[in-house]
Structure 1
Amino acid sequence: MNKQNRLTGNIHRATPRLKHVLSGLFSGGTPDTNNDEYWAAAGEGIAWVAIGDMSTKDRVEVTEKRITESGIASKRLCVLPPGTLIYSMYASMGHVAELAIPATINQALLGLEFADGVEWGFAKWWLRHLQPLLIAEASSNTQDNLNADKVRNLPFPKIEFRHQSRIANYLDQETSRIDGLISEKERMLALLEEKRAALISRVVTRGLDSKVPLKPSGHEWLGEIPAHWEIQPIKYLAVVGNGSTPSVENADYWSEEGYPWLNSSVVNVSPATNASRFVTELALRECHLPKIQPPAVLVGITGQGKTRGMASVLGIEATINQHLAFIKPCTQELNTDYLYYLLGHAYAFLRSDSDGAGSTKGAITCEKLENIKIPVPPSEEQAEICTKIRHSLDVFMPLRSEIKSSLDLLTERRAALITAAVTGQVSLEEMTV
């Protein structure tokens, strides 16, 4: 019997199900986004919960959007009271959060109201225990979403109310302790990242000599730079271009061992060495895909996610899709690694500069990249700057890895504790609160 049947199928008529302990299951909806009468200003109307408002939270206290009474009526939405558990069917599938405010929900969520004899706190922890199982099931079955019927048929154990309360209180206490440790580790990672970013930003814009005379760069994102550095547009120092995606329906364009083709996810790691897929020589010719040889830098140029503006050094000969641009230095005046570190400093500028209106909103065009004026230290100084950064990263990265490993262990410990407590692997006698 497969995972799908074990979680949401009918194993046996006597198997306890979530529907047996619910007194209400509330669906949601989205009022017409083009009708201003349905949407309220901040602080007005009723909160409207979308996936983004709850997917990373245990409690929903504020929402990005609010709707009017007319909006509620247009979709016949229920206003759910504080304390209601809301459950995600899409995206962050299986996530459960508590409403801290009266709110309506969208169609990707369900509101759960429990019958007498059910401790909602235990129900919350039980559903959180099921989430990784549901995600694994969806991955193996290539089915990413739940629906209300599947949620109704999720298993739910028969446990006395007083025991449910004890388990819920125990998990509240123990997960709070672990969450405190996780928060501390996350703060340490954030501080390390701040130090790393500050070091890189300082040396790529000021150099290594703190006593060198400075001059205004003329650009807010750069500030002052050493007086002997030049300022030049990228197009005077490098070739800039981007790629495309061959038709996925044309089998003649794709192969198992062809030419590496990279998508925008590669900017999350540097150097970029892993191909997303491989294209044929026919695709390279007919789709006018560039063959890019290192040294070069790749930049994410589209989308609202974090990859727009991120950069990575190209580590293999490859071609790219339309969501990436390549910058290939054509002169020894520009060190590829220096350019990569400089673009990391320029991330916030690249994002804000591409958030404007018009047809290129949310995109960094090749033309924009070509015309960005960057500081150009003497080539020997660029090499020294890169060496300094690499030496600093040699210290930073092992410490970061150690903290990240510790954080992963705490996260695993938290998940294992929840599973052990709600499935009876921790005895009630051990649950001292």
Structure 2
Amino acid sequence: MRFPAYPKYRDSGVQWLGRVPGHWEVKRLKFSATINDDALPETTDPDFEFSYVDIGSVSPGEGITSTEPMIFENAPSRARRKVAPGDSIVSTVRTYLRAIAPIPEIFDPLVVSTGFAVIRPRKVSSAFLAYALRESYFVESIVARSTGVSYPAVNASEIGDIAIPLPSEDEQTTIADFLDRETGRIDTLVAKKRRLIALLKEKRTALISRTVTRGLPDAAAREFGLQPHTRFKSSGIEWLDEVPAAWEARKVWIERVSRNIELQDGNHGELHPKAEDYVSEGIPFVMANHIVDGKVDFDRCNYIDKQQADSLRIGFSLRGDVLLTHKGTIGRVGLVQESDFPYVMLTPQVTYYRCLREIQNVFLFWFMQSDFWQDQLRLLAGLGSTRAYIGLLDQKKLSFLIPNELEQSAIVTYLDRETAKIDRLVKKVEAAIARLQEYRTALITAAVSGKIDVREAVV
């Protein structure tokens, strides 16, 4: 939909804002709102209960995505800024995250990190201001004023000095109503597409699970020159039904498997590299969150000096190893891909599984993504501990299903091909979501900066 421009414009006097409608004002934010009005004093009742919002709990497009219940006595020292409905919060640290969100109607007391500036409207519509603070020119102005490389930050007073365009109160309401309606439509479309992605991912997991526990579909088996499975037997495993009669079901620790697979996690205790050991180039030091989309994301990794890495005792992972996260984040699976690094070094959060014979590494990679394997992990992670952790001894209790090597190869080829089809569909839907979100941002910017006239668009 195309919207008209205003009939008359004037120069705003602000470089990043450019021209604004002739009847609009332009004022610094601090003249229309207060900043950081209210905070919890140190004398707060230790039993005071509230919901807490940190920087990581705010998404640029979705606002506040999660809260954490806590009491004052156990709260981090940064949990101090009190907010109220109608306020907006703007991140003053790690400003590149663009963590800006309005505060909705709430029932529980809500407290946010001191890493936010709390903007409370005074002479401006709260709904209009919430959009104005998410307008791209305003956001880029915050980022531009930030200092620091690894942890960029900006003073709240500097945010107050940023100019915002201000139409009349009635027009502010009109613009906010228009944006509520249009962004609501966009958000509904995005939600539908995200549900589609969730269904596609469920289909992908079901495909993997069915194939690595029941064998190839009949047509696929014949395609690879194999006979479809017609005879099945009890798996001998409580939560798994029948499996192909020719397959073996074995635990990791059984001799037959243990001589075919080597597994090891990273260094513990004093030998564990620390943050001060990180260097700009060297050997990748792989943590759980560095395993992304089935491989190691070297761009996310920290690095340690090769001389230090060579001096360590364990945790040397090679190309082709299958990686499994077993602490904190449980069950993430990846393959160590081809790279220029002689090896990667693992943290204690990650175990490598190295296939030595009879079991193919890519088959194991797919097998570990099945519901059968992931259910075992969830069961073990829930035994006797409040913190998700599956040590090497417990990992050796996990069960495998082992087809012959010819069938493993066929399963690998089939799953590589079929999951790639689903992955391509997911990427198309993700691209459509990105376009919708870009349009959403552009629409907000155009409306609150007066580039388009929406006064006649609100019904």
Residue 365 of structure 2 is aligned with which of 340, 343, 346? Answer: 340
CA distance in 2, matches of 1:199, 1:390: 11
Kept after mapping to 2: 8 A contact 1:31/1:38: no
In the other structure, the counterpart of 1:354 is 381
In the other structure, the counterpart of 2:20 is none
Per-residue deviation, residues 294-329 of structure 1 (Å, max 9, x unmatched) = 3310122333xxx43201011135222313221101
**For residues 269 and 394 of structure 1, do their structure 2 counterparts lie closer, same or farther at Cα, with a shift above 3 Å needed?**
closer
CA distance in 2, matches of 1:327, 1:136: 45
Kept after mapping to 1: 8 A contact 2:142/2:159: no
Residue 20 of structure 1 is aligned with which of 17, 31, 56? Answer: 31
Kept after mapping to 1: 8 A contact 2:79/2:112: no
Kept after mapping to 1: 8 A contact 2:91/2:100: yes
In the other structure, the counterpart of 2:293 is 269
Kept after mapping to 1: 8 A contact 2:90/2:100: yes
CA distance in 2, matches of 1:224, 1:32: 63
CA distance in 2, matches of 1:246, 1:34: 40
Kept after mapping to 2: 8 A contact 1:89/1:145: yes
Q: Please, which moves more after superposition, 107-116 or 179-188?
A: 107-116
Structural mapping, 1:370-409, within 5 Å: 370-409=396-435
Q: Post-superposition shift, 1:217?
A: 3.8
1:297 is the counterpart of 2:322: yes
Structure 1 stretches lacking a partner, 5+ long: 8-13, 40-46
Residue 65 of structure 1 is aligned with which of 62, 66, 69? Answer: 69
CA distance in 1, matches of 2:168, 2:139: 23
Per-residue deviation, residues 82-109 of structure 1 (Å, max 9, x unmatched) = 4444555557654212322233313445
Kept after mapping to 2: 8 A contact 1:246/1:287: no
Q: Post-superposition shift, 1:197?
A: 0.9
Give the counterpart letter for 2:103 in structure 1. Answer: E
Q: Post-superposition shift, 1:378?
A: 2.1
In the other structure, the counterpart of 1:98 is 103
1:233 is the counterpart of 2:251: yes
1:50 is the counterpart of 2:53: yes
CA distance in 1, matches of 2:100, 2:229: 50
Structural mapping, 1:115-154, within 5 Å: 115-116=122-123, 118-129=124-135, 130-131=138-139, 134=142, 138=146, 141-145=149-153, 148-154=156-162
Give the counterpart letter for 2:248 in structure 1. Answer: E
**For residues 197 and 131 of structure 1, do their structure 2 counterparts lie closer, same or farther at Cα, with a shift above 3 Å needed?**
farther
Q: Please, which moves more after superposition, 345-354 or 190-199?
A: 345-354
**For residues 33 and 393 of structure 1, do their structure 2 counterparts lie closer, same or farther at Cα, with a shift above 3 Å needed?**
farther
Kept after mapping to 2: 8 A contact 1:61/1:99: no
Give the counterpart letter for 2:198 in structure 1. Answer: A
Kept after mapping to 1: 8 A contact 2:294/2:334: yes
In the other structure, the counterpart of 2:222 is none
In the other structure, the counterpart of 1:243 is 266
Q: Post-superposition shift, 1:135?
A: 5.1
In the other structure, the counterpart of 2:234 is 215
CA distance in 2, matches of 1:407, 1:392: 23
**For residues 266 and 67 of structure 1, do their structure 2 counterparts lie closer, same or farther at Cα, with a shift above 3 Å needed?**
closer
In the other structure, the counterpart of 1:10 is none
CA distance in 2, matches of 1:259, 1:277: 8
CA distance in 2, matches of 1:162, 1:320: 61
Kept after mapping to 2: 8 A contact 1:261/1:278: yes
1:38 is the counterpart of 2:48: yes
CA distance in 1, matches of 2:244, 2:79: 63
Q: Please, which moves more after superposition, 262-271 or 391-400?
A: 262-271
1:286 is the counterpart of 2:311: yes
**For residues 51 and 273 of structure 1, do their structure 2 counterparts lie closer, same or farther at Cα, with a shift above 3 Å needed?**
closer
Residue 160 of structure 1 is aligned with which of 168, 175, 182? Answer: 168
Kept after mapping to 2: 8 A contact 1:59/1:100: no
CA distance in 1, matches of 2:383, 2:15: 50
Q: Please, which moves more after superposition, 165-174 or 104-113?
A: 104-113
More contact order relative to length (CA 8 Å, sep ≥ 6): 2
State the Cα RMSD in Å.
4.0
Kept after mapping to 1: 8 A contact 2:58/2:64: no
Kept after mapping to 1: 8 A contact 2:36/2:81: no
Give the counterpart letter for 1:241 in structure 2. Answer: Q
The answer to which structure has the higher strand fraction is: 2
1:313 is the counterpart of 2:335: yes
Give the counterpart letter for 2:208 in structure 1. Answer: I
1:344 alignment partner, SS class: coil
1:169 is the counterpart of 2:177: yes
Structure 2 stretches lacking a partner, 5+ long: 1-13, 17-24, 217-227
Q: Post-superposition shift, 1:380?
A: 2.0
In the other structure, the counterpart of 1:114 is 121
**For residues 181 and 99 of structure 1, do their structure 2 counterparts lie closer, same or farther at Cα, with a shift above 3 Å needed?**
closer
Kept after mapping to 1: 8 A contact 2:288/2:332: no
In the other structure, the counterpart of 1:189 is 197
Q: Please, which moves more after superposition, 207-216 or 176-185?
A: 207-216
**For residues 351 and 150 of structure 1, do their structure 2 counterparts lie closer, same or farther at Cα, with a shift above 3 Å needed?**
farther
CA distance in 2, matches of 1:32, 1:264: 39
Q: Post-superposition shift, 1:407?
A: 1.4
TM-score normalised to structure 2 length = 0.73
In the other structure, the counterpart of 1:410 is 436
CA distance in 2, matches of 1:405, 1:19: 38
CA distance in 1, matches of 2:168, 2:417: 60
In the other structure, the counterpart of 1:44 is none
Q: Post-superposition shift, 1:269?
A: 2.7
**For residues 186 and 230 of structure 1, do their structure 2 counterparts lie closer, same or farther at Cα, with a shift above 3 Å needed?**
same
CA distance in 2, matches of 1:145, 1:170: 33
2:351 alignment partner, SS class: strand
CA distance in 2, matches of 1:202, 1:341: 11
The answer to which structure has the higher helix fraction is: 1
